[in-house]
Amino acid sequence: MDIATLAGIIAGTSFIIIGILLSGNLSNFYDLASVMIVLGGTLASTLIAYPLGKVIGIMNVARNLFFAREMNTQDVITRIIELANIARKEGLLALEEAASNLNDPFLQKGVMLIVDGTDPELVRNIMETEISFVEERHKQGQGIFETMGSLAPAFGMIGTLIGLINMLMALDDPDTLGPNMSVALVTTFYGSVMANLLFIPMAGKLKHRSGQELLYKGIMLEGLLSIQAGENPRIIEEKLKAFLSPAERKKEKDKNSDGGN
């Protein structure tokens, strides 16, 4: 479970509530009509912008924000080197048994293509095509949250206009001016909070997760092609370390130094 996402939502909500309580009453910020305008309007416009199946599927996408398989670049490289050692000692056909123990469908598919003797260029084309479709699928999920992030403040403004119109229609009753103006501003408040605390940050987290997954798949592809080419596992490892960030390289170097001692 991704603690950062949950902690961010809880912390952001808590700070807003505490800020309200320090200077006012929490009940002043509740208005059912404002909720209906902002949340209902945002969902309705999202349904107009995207197919129903995509909008329903956003629940699965949102689940990835909290529950995602934890991996890191070094783990992927280590797994590739293990496969390279098997192929070097026992031959490419021995990878078929190793593939059955892999829990990553993309890596497993690539290994089986190699075992089947597929041409390296065709392996690259097949795997890169799959990577492209994964990237496109991820962009759709990000796009829905980005759309909701842009729509929520807009519907907040619509709610504000509705509140102002109601206020102007009742100018002859001074007692209603304050409540109507309050409702108008609360709607803008809802739209801004939903956009900046939920939808836009969620789109950003999905973009980050997508970048990580595409990086891992790129490492897997280069590693598999190197294994198929019969390269030495040490050379493959050095080649794949190019995907590591400077901090990760330093960490790995320190780890190896400690192991050598």
> Into how many domains does the chain fold?
1
The answer to whether residue 172 sits within a structural domain is yes
Taking 60 as the threshold, does the pLDDT of residue 60 lie above it?
Answer: yes
Averaged pLDDT of the chain: 87
The answer to whether residue 89 sits within a structural domain is yes
pLDDT digits (tens, 9 = 90+) for 115-171: 998 899 999 999 999 999 999 988 988 999 999 999 999 999 998 998 888 888 877
**Tokens representing 52?**
């129903």
**Tokens representing 118?**
């597929």
Identify the three-state secondary structure at position 226. Answer: helix
Identify the three-state secondary structure at position 74. Answer: helix
Q: Which H or E run includes 82?
A: helix 73-90
Q: In this structure, are residues 94 and 87 in contact, taking their beta carbons and an 8 Å threshold?
A: yes
Identify the three-state secondary structure at position 72. Answer: coil
The answer to whether residue 72 sits within a structural domain is yes
CA dihedral 127, 131, 137, 141 (to 10 degrees): 150
Instruction: Tell me the whole-structure pTM to 2 decimals.
Output: 0.81
pLDDT level of residue 175 (50, 70, 90 thresholds): confident
Domain encompassing residue 56: 1-6+32-251
How far apart CA 74 and CA 72 sit, in angstroms, is 6
The answer to whether residue 258 sits within a structural domain is no
The answer to whether residue 20 sits within a structural domain is no
The answer to whether residue 48 sits within a structural domain is yes
